[in-house]
Structure formats: C-alpha cells, structure tokens
Amino acid sequence: MNIILASSSPRRKSILSGLFGTFRVLPPSIDERHLPGETPEAFTVRIAEEKCRAIQDSSVVRESPALIITADTIVTIGGLIIGKPADFKDAVRMISELSGRTHRVITGLSLSTVEKNGAVSAPLTGSEVTEVSFKKLDRNGIIRYLNAIEYLDKAGSYAIQEHGSMILQGYRGSVTNIIGFPLRLFFSMLAEMRLVQELFNI
C-alpha cells in the first residue's frame, strides 16, 4: 500500500520514516483560518479532515491502493490558539506567555484509504491532547533557548526534542503528540480501520 503524507512537517516525516521507510509527501493547500467561535479542538480536527479531503480530490489518489495521512498540531492556552511565530520578537513573546504555565498541545489526525478500484473511504478523524508545563523562564533564558533551535516553523516557537530540558517542567500524555504526530492515536485508528496487519505484516 502506498503511503501519502499530506504534510511538509520535518517532524512528521521523521516519525513516519521510522515506520514505513519510504512514502510520498504531498502538502495540501487549504484555508487554515480559525472560524469565529471555533474551539481549539474543533479547529484542529476540522483542519486535519479538510487536508485529507483536499488530497482525496487530487489526481494523486489514482495511485491506489494508498493510505492518506493528514494532521494538524496546535498549541493552546486559555482557549487561544498559539500559532507559528512571525519573527524572533514574536517567538520571545510566545515563550514568555507559556513560561511557568501549563498549556495544551492538540493534534487532529485524519486517515483515508484508496482501494484498488479507486474507491476512496470517508476520512476517519481523531485528536490527541497533551498537557505541557514550562519552567519559569527569564528573558535571558528564553533568548538562549531560541538561539539554540529553529523556531520559525514550530507552533508555540518550541520543540521539546530540541534542547527541551531548557524549558520543559513536565508533560502529561503522548510525547509524540507534542512533537507533532501522535503515534498512540495513529495505531488506534489503524486498528479501527483494520490496517495494522496489512501495513506492518503482523
């Protein structure tokens, strides 16, 4: 079965490389603006599913059979979504807002299959939530951390797999969810779709 990852995230590529080796990367093009009154959970689930449907509608689904994988990860605190920083100043602001507090990382994950006859399944979509607590950081500590990582492509301006000990107090839940691809949820959804044996020969 062909694997299609509809994401340009280096973290997701790395995690899936460990599972499948080779796969096709095809980032979708959708409107990712937040809707008025939409909760962070509803937002990330909607975006993951819309990404999946965008790939379903593309010509690449003719390469059957295939598994389409889409995901969207956000950082949220106080009901607000914290996206990717615009620049260094914005990254400092984001980390300052998270300093000494507990926030949530939410990933929406959507899967769909393409059969040999070209039939496409309706997306199966779920979400994973992890609580993350930051140390109390002063401005110098925040700047040292940001100078040690690539922060511009990361929601919340951080990545626990990159010098995470500098900022992380602790977390509760899936660590791979914080990185951007919740493996526990992924395997649970594959089991629901009865794809584990076919994909992993077990």
**Domains of the chain, earliest start first:** 2-200 (3.90.950.10)
Q: How far is CA 202 from CA 115, 178, 195, in A?
A: 21, 28, 10
> What is the predicted pLDDT for the residue at 60?
67
> What is the predicted pLDDT for the residue at 38?
93
Over residues 24-48, the mean pLDDT reads 92
Over residues 78-103, the mean pLDDT reads 94
Split at pLDDT 50, 70, 90, the class of 105 is very high
**72 catalytically annotated:** yes
Over residues 24-44, the mean pLDDT reads 91
Entry pTM: 0.91
21 or 202: whose pLDDT is higher? Answer: 21
Over residues 132-146, the mean pLDDT reads 96
> What is the predicted pLDDT for the residue at 202?
59
Active-site residue (options: 31, 57, 72, 138): 72
